[in-house]
A and B are shown apart, each in its own frame.
Chain A
């Protein structure tokens, strides 16, 4: 019984990973299953976002504050401060930029595809053109 509780707390205690996995899989599922090109892109966006949560949760430390410079008075008064690791935040800022760029690139392609093929459904495009 004790063992079971341990396992359950272990599972719940790692909730950040579960959220990341859930998001990742739902995004991935959308990319694979959906036939609508825009929905695919949205799935891709969710898929990328899950990585952001994964990285950010890595940087969190129990009882740590945000990694911001304290003003001098507070710095003198306080003991050494525990703070979260700022590096993953910075990395994810880059990943967000990449995500934005990918999404807008993809959307631009979808607009052009819609103009050229008259549809954004994979099946329709496939019918118009065998090459897809």
Chain B
């Protein structure tokens, strides 16, 4: 039959026909699929220890995969993986560039580090019977985050976004406090509205271009940029991602969600979820719509910069008076997201580089801070400031973790937080926005005060009798008493690694700044 021969020709022209891919070339998809499949395996086997070991192993495997991919991406400009062998734009492809790789590395790292804290969670916060399902949700969340980061397909972003969100609703709702339930519910409503907005935006783009591949949409949009449909799509997508990233007026879900989630979940989600959403800003504004459209035709800066500043202000202000440490850190997250979006709003090469660096480093420091709190919470009754009183003296290592994380949060030189802020300051000074410069400095002073609030409590507060007893009790039982902290060796090592990372990324900045600069250059698309 004539038609069948042509159809097979068509088939060959749209497929890659590869059958000799190495394992290394399969890494992008494995980083997404392996957590997904093992999550399913855990629901089948449904055993506590099995779930724990699998979760930790898989998280580390994903971390290693993301690390390898990141190194590979420094040699090549991009890695494209065609799912199902269908060439893009016909099929779904994973599209990795340096930005992707950098964010993926953050997600992998934080997942691996948080997974070492899971045994502690098991002891205190999650009932034994629910632990396998908890691990399933954790791995699904990881798979979703890796998926959002690596995919090159707009609709795929929506799907992975929902996988991430649904599993994080479940994770947050497992908090001990009953307020975790209402927090999760609030997040569910806001998150779903956000994701649906993104979906509507993608629908408009699809109507205009007939394509879902991000790179392909970008090409096809070139002569349609003035159309109102494209602008509407832009608006919907911006608002949708802003909801997910907790940009200022849309940040209200974040505080409760982070405060009442189980402590390890707070660490994992706080350090990755909003960062990945901010990454989506980069992906949509620069790769999909293009710099010209986002900051030339539409002048997004006029919206994004004021909102970022308001976010920095309100986040810092709230962190100055809340009485719960987790809530304090969550408020500070709103402020830090403000810094990142400020960098996007300014849209110069330096500011974008600053934003990328801050994105990565903020993940590191929030991970460290929340995990230190997770360590404290093994013995402390709750995360109110007064309940953590004097705990730094009992568990020095966790205290050091809080201190380094806190200093990094302020942006003290020689800690990770400094680099990003410095680049942002440079960018604002170069553009002559001196008001913003003054504001950033003011906010840093505010950060100094709220960090001091918890550091003072931890180091100089009076030790509670009950805490002292809990430690004595535990010292008698536990094999790892030499460490002076209630963590097992594995978790301890990862905590120390995070502390070192927070300092190292503050001292050896040339490498990160160089990478961020390259990313920024690629995003803007022209050497400035």
Contact = CB atoms under 8 A, between A and B. Distances in A.
Do A's and B's CB atoms come within 8 Å in the complex? Answer: yes
Contact of A106 (B159, B178, B188, B207): B188
Contact of B196 (A37, A48, A87): A48
A55 B193 CA distance: 17
A87 B92 CA distance: 12
Interface string B248-267: 00000000100010000000
A102 B182 contact: no
Contacts of A37: 185
A74 to B, nearest CB: 14
Interface residues of A, number: 32
Interface in B189-231: 189, 192-193, 195-196, 199-200, 203, 206-207, 212
B86 to A, nearest CB: 13
B182 A132 contact: yes
A17 to B, nearest CB: 10
B203 A44 contact: no
A121 B192 CA distance: 20
A46 to B, nearest CB: 11
B173 A109 contact: yes
A98 B159 contact: yes
A132 B193 contact: no
A1 interface: no
Contacts of B185: 37, 106, 109-110, 113
Contacts of A28: 193
Interface in A35-85: 37, 40-41, 44, 47-48, 51, 54-55, 58
Given A129-B182, A132-B179, A112 B203 contact: no
B287 to A, nearest CB: 21
B200 A51 contact: yes
Contact of A109 (B188, B207, B212): B188
Majority secondary structure, A binding face: helix
Nearest to A109: B185
A131 B384 CA distance: 14
Given A47-B196, A113-B185, A55 B203 contact: yes
A101 interface: yes
B206 A58 contact: yes
Nearest to A28: B193
A131 B166 CA distance: 22
A117 interface: yes
A129 B195 CA distance: 28
B324 to A, nearest CB: 10
B151 to A, nearest CB: 14
Interface in B168-194: 169-170, 173, 178-179, 181-186, 188-189, 192-193
A40 B182 contact: no
B427 to A, nearest CB: 37
Interface of A: 28, 31, 37, 40-41, 44, 47-48, 51, 54-55, 58, 87-88, 91, 94-95, 98, 101-102, 105-106, 109-110, 112-113, 116-117, 125, 129, 131-132
15 contacts: A54-B200, A55-B203, A95-B158, A98-B162, A105-B188, A109-B169, A109-B173, A109-B188, A113-B181, A113-B182, A116-B178, A117-B178, A129-B179, A131-B179, A132-B179
Interface of B: 155, 158-159, 162, 166, 169-170, 173, 178-179, 181-186, 188-189, 192-193, 195-196, 199-200, 203, 206-207, 212, 256, 260
